[in-house]
């Protein structure tokens, strides 16, 4: 039996120079103006909850931008993408503070010349002087370090995590990310047995499963990732879908048990076609969801 590992997509882990530059230069191009708007907002808003919401929205936007840059730059190494994301997150934090101080000191642009170490010292000094106040009283340094620490964690964490989210297989021949099909529902079956059959290229094991309508019932969910250009790159992912009754609600858990298995084009087509057929079936009559 050949090594089952060879049957799965293995990312090249490539980090193209274009992708590196795109992430760093593009990251700065996003970070510098957006942190100005963010700092301006945080400076003028005094309501604590609204401040927190602004920080969450901003961290999400930076994360989204980082993910888009890693994707467009075809960065296949998730480790590198994560490191670049962390760097961009840290830069965002730095620029946010810098702009905040520029605004605080009545748009004094000389703040831009302060080196990062002195910038941190200045912030500590401002904390101790009680610059941040709530209802006329200074907010304690402990609470401020908790708030500022949380903001830092949120920004850097979001940029790092989102950067690593491009996990679809990449078609090296065409230079394109594969596209996932919508998930298709199949009836429950022995997942270990099915995995063994598929690893040994006995695709009938999948093809002979009876077609089941796309309902919330427990079973198997199949998804194929295919290159939009060629017919060579097709990968199959299978998950077990378990439905448990929790009082009145149904708790659905999805567990992936086969990830990015290399499959021929016709198997990928079959999954896509079955999906369409299943949808046509369910739309022609009432669907029971009990």
Q: Which residues bind Zn ion (CB under 5 A)?
A: 171, 173-174, 227, 229-230, 233
Query: Shortest approach of Zn ion to residue 272 CB, angstroms?
Result: 16
Nearer to Zn ion by C-beta: 28 or 174? 174
Query: Shortest approach of Zn ion to residue 168 CB, angstroms?
Result: 13
Ramachandran assignment for 271, one of left (phi > 0), alpha (psi -120 to 50 degrees), beta (any other): alpha
Nearer to Zn ion by C-beta: 217 or 269? 269
List the end-to-end C-alpha distance of the chain, in Å, as a whole number: 44
d(CA 133, CA 97): 17
Query: Shortest approach of Zn ion to residue 233 CB, angstroms?
Result: 5
Query: Shortest approach of Zn ion to residue 231 CB, angstroms?
Result: 8
CB 80 within 8 A of CB 22: no
Query: Shortest approach of Zn ion to residue 174 CB, angstroms?
Result: 3
Could you count the other beta carbons within 10 Å of the beta carbon of residue 230?
13
Nearer to Zn ion by C-beta: 176 or 240? 176
Nearer to Zn ion by C-beta: 34 or 226? 226
Query: Shortest approach of Zn ion to residue 268 CB, angstroms?
Result: 12
Nearer to Zn ion by C-beta: 62 or 260? 260
Nearer to Zn ion by C-beta: 131 or 230? 230
């Amino acid at each position: 039996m050949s090594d089952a590992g060879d049957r799965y997509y293995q990312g090249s882990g490539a980090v193209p120079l274009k992708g590196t530059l795109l992430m760093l230069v593009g990251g700065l191009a996003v970070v510098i103006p957006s942190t100005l708007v963010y700092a301006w907002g945080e400076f003028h808003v005094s309501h604590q909850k609204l401040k927190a919401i602004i920080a969450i929205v901003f961290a999400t936007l930076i994360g989204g931008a980082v993910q888009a840059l890693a994707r467009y730059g075809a960065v296949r190494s998730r480790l590198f993408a994560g490191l670049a994301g962390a760097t961009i997150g840290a830069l965002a934090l730095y620029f946010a503070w810098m702009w905040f101080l520029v605004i605080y000191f009545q748009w004094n642009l000389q703040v831009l010349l302060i080196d990062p170490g002195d910038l941190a010292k200045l912030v500590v000094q401002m904390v101790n002087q009680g610059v941040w106040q709530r209802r006329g009283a200074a907010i304690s340094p402990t609470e401020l370090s908790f708030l500022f620490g949380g903001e830092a964690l949120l920004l850097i964490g979001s940029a790092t995590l989102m950067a690593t989210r491009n996990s679809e297989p990449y078609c090296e021949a065409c230079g394109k990310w594969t596209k996932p099909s919508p998930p298709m529902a199949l009836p429950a079956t022995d997942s270990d047995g099915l995995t063994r059959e598929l690893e040994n290229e006995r695709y009938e094991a999948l093809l002979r499963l009876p077609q089941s309508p796309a309902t919330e019932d427990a079973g198997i969910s199949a998804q194929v990732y295919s290159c939009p250009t060629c017919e060579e790159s097709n990968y199959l992912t299978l998950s077990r879908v378990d439905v448990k009754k929790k009082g009145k609600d149904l708790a659905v858990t999805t567990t992936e048990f086969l990830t990015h298995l290399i499959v021929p084009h016709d198997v990928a087509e079959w999954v896509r076609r079955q999906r369409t057929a299943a949808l046509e079936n369910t739309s022609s009559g009432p669907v029971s969801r009990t």
